[in-house]
Amino acid sequence: MATSWNPDLGSIGAFALGRCGVRRPEITVGHLADVAMAANLVNVDWSGDEPQLWQVVLASVPLVQGTTAYTLPANLLLVLDCYLTVTYQGTSTDRIIYPVARSEYASYPNKAEQAPPTVYWADRTEPVVLSLYPTPDGNASYVLHYYGVYRDDDAALSGAAQTTLPYRSLSAFVDALAAKLALTYAPDKFAALEAVAMKSYGRLNAQENENPVLYVTPGLQRYTRM
């Protein structure tokens, strides 16, 4: 049984154009250029609703003594979680470090103070700059690991290129692409296609979670006033 279906962007675009009333024999180079633009704009729209699980990647950065700020890759959109691997006298341990907001980071009086980092501020510039506090010292070796949300690869039509989207997202992507193209080729169909796109995207977003087990334990101890 085959489970490898993954259509190229040209096929996806032709199908989306068909929903707008543009049949395959009528498709021109101009249509295909608009498909590529619209597909990239769908990626932009979806990136505003991160994290999508398929965009999350674990990356690592070796820390340098006395270096506070680290510029992360240009295609990184958002830092989710960070932890440090601390190596001291040949023994390595991992520990979580926590995010702080810009205002809290700005309130630290001595940002160059050296000690094991405990918090970070991720400035969402392009590229993202991550600042640690305290600044890494030289008493141990530190490697920062972070889960980051990365941009999807650019949509391209050359060479029958496929998208990098996962199987579960393809229907929602086609619906969103058709709605985006309808603004140009079928304005009278836009409202209907947009409604379909919103419904399928909502269904996709509903399953974009890791479903962790949550345990809630009530405090049953008795409180008395002496």
- C-alpha dist (Å) from residue 203 to 116, 200, 206, 208: 43, 5, 5, 9
pLDDT digits over 56-81, tens only? 999 999 999 999 999 999 999 999 99
Chain-centre distance of CA 169, in angstroms? Answer: 14
| Average pLDDT over the chain, rounded to an integer | 91
* Residue 221 confidence (pLDDT) above 60: no
pLDDT digits over 36-61, tens only? 999 999 999 998 786 788 889 999 99
3-class SS string, 163-176: CCCCHHHHHHHHHH
Confidence of residue 197 (pLDDT cuts 50, 70, 90): very high
Backbone angles phi, psi at 81, to 5 degrees: -140, 150
Chain-centre distance of CA 201, in angstroms? Answer: 16
Per-residue model confidence (pLDDT) at position 30: 95
* Residue 219 confidence (pLDDT) above 70: no
Confidence of residue 93 (pLDDT cuts 50, 70, 90): very high
Q: Identify how many contiguous H helices and E strands the chain contains and give both numbers.
A: 5, 7
Of residues 42, 37, 51, the one with CA closest to residue 81: 51
Contact 146/59 with Cβ under 8 angstroms?
yes
Token pair for 217:
């334990």
Give dist(CA 54, CA 170) in Å, integer. 13
pLDDT digits over 135-159, tens only? 999 999 999 999 999 988 888 887 7
* Residue 21 confidence (pLDDT) above 70: yes
